[in-house]
């Protein structure tokens, strides 16, 4: 059974259709990278997967049942920035999810529960390469280290699905390459199913096992919100013809320009 399945999924905000007629099945363990014109609904799609937004029509299924209407520990998310809390140390940031889960009213744990949580958080920080920076605050960490911390925070609750919204967009190329290796190794070791948005189609091809292009096949300049984006390409990576990349770049570029012209 597919871990995620979309059946005729639509998302509208008032008169604006953002996503329309999405149909796809994703098996456990796939790494889906998502590219598309700016503003065409990629983050909205991740929010539907996370459960902070609900479909306007159609279904989003998790293990064949409607996806829970609120975020839970089955899905973890990392944004491009601001995923971590500035007033907590790296260790406290990673422990936070567990503390809130175990002690909803107090907001922090004590005794054995706290010790166990601390041990788990330390191991998670070690696994993302932050073993030496546990007591530092986010502003004392580099951009790459902050994203490592955000990954540790997202993974501490052992999600089956990891959602990444341009997590490396703000990083320098060298640091990005390190982060690619980290994400690939976490994906394999933790047997994750990953959905990752990127603006960089080469990154999408390099990291993913499957690449989705979100694009608007129909665009009315007089009514920019009339039509939504669809999955216009669904490519098993490593198995597509030579000119596909050029074609995707061209069509996404055209949509970007058209969306910007209508703003």
Ligand X SMILES: Nc1ncnc2c1ncn2[C@@H]1O[C@H](COP(=O)(O)OP(=O)(O)OP(=O)(O)O)[C@@H](O)[C@H]1O
Smallest distance, Å, CB 187 to ligand X? Answer: 22
**Using CA atoms, how far apart are residues 89 and 35, in angstroms rounded to an integer?**
33
Q: CB-wise, 117 or 164, nearer to ligand X?
A: 164
Q: Measured between alpha carbons, how far is 133 from 176 in angstroms, rounded to an integer?
A: 19
Least Å distance between CB 183 and ligand X?
19
C-beta of 159: minimal distance to ligand X in Å? Answer: 21
β-strands 57-62, 31-36 pairing: unpaired
* Distance of closest approach, residue 236 Cβ to ligand X, in angstroms: 23
The crossing angle, in degrees rounded to 10, of helices 90-102 and 143-155 is 20
Q: How far is the CB of 11 from ligand X (least distance, A)?
A: 8
Of 113, 121, 130, 132, residue with least CA distance to 91: 121
Nearer to ligand X, 33 or 127 (CB): 33
Q: Please identify, using beta-carbon distances, which residue of 28 and 200 lies nearer to ligand X.
A: 200
Q: Look at residues 166, 51, 223 and name the one whose alpha carbon lies nearest to residue 150.
A: 166
Contact flag: residue 77 with ligand X (CB under 6 A): no
Distance spanning both ends of the chain, measured CA to CA: 42
Q: What single-letter DSSP state applies at residue 16?
A: E
> In terms of CB distance, is 36 or 144 closer to ligand X?
36
Site for ligand X in 13-72 (CB under 6 A): 13, 18, 36, 38-44
- Is the torsion defined by CA of 135, 139, 145, 147 positive or negative? positive
Residues 60, 65: Cα–Cα separation, whole Å: 8
Of 152 and 207, nearer to ligand X (C-beta) is: 207
Measured from the CB of residue 52, what is the shortest distance to ligand X in angstroms? Answer: 10
- Residues contacting ligand X: total by CB under 6 A: 10
Output 93 or 198, the one with its CB closest to ligand X: 198
- Is the CB of residue 46 less than 8 Å from the CB of residue 262? no
The contact set with ligand X (CB under 6 A) reads 13, 18, 36, 38-44
């Amino acid at each position: 059974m597919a871990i995620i399945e979309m059946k005729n999924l639509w998302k509208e905000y008032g008169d604006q259709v953002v996503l329309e007629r999405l149909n796809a099945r994703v098996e456990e363990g796939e790494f889906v990278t998502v590219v598309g014109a700016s503003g065409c609904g990629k983050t909205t799609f991740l929010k539907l997967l996370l459960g902070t937004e609900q479909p306007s029509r159609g279904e989003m299924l998790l293990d064949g049942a409607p996806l829970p209407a609120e975020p839970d520990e089955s899905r973890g998310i990392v944004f491009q920035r601001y995923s971590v809390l500035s007033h907590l140390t790296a260790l406290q940031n990673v422990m936070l999810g567990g503390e809130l889960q175990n002690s909803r009213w107090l907001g922090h744990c004590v005794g054995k529960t706290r010790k166990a949580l601390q041990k788990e958080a330390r191991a998670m920080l070690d696994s993302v390469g932050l073993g030496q920076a546990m007591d530092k605050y986010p502003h004392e960490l580099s951009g790459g280290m902050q994203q490592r911390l955000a990954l540790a925070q997202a993974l501490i609750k052992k999600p089956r699905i990891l959602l990444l919204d341009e997590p490396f967009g703000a990083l320098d190329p060298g640091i990005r390459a390190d982060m690619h290796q980290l994400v690939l190794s976490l994906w394999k070791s933790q047997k994750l199913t990953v959905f990752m948005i990127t603006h960089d189609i080469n990154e999408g091809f390099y990291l993913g096992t499957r690449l989705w292009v979100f694009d608007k096949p129909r665009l009315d300049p007089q009514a920019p919100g009339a039509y939504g984006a669809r999955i216009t390409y669904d490519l098993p990576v490593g198995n597509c013809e030579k000119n596909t990349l050029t074609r995707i770049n061209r069509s996404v570029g055209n949509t970007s320009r058209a969306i910007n012209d209508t703003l």
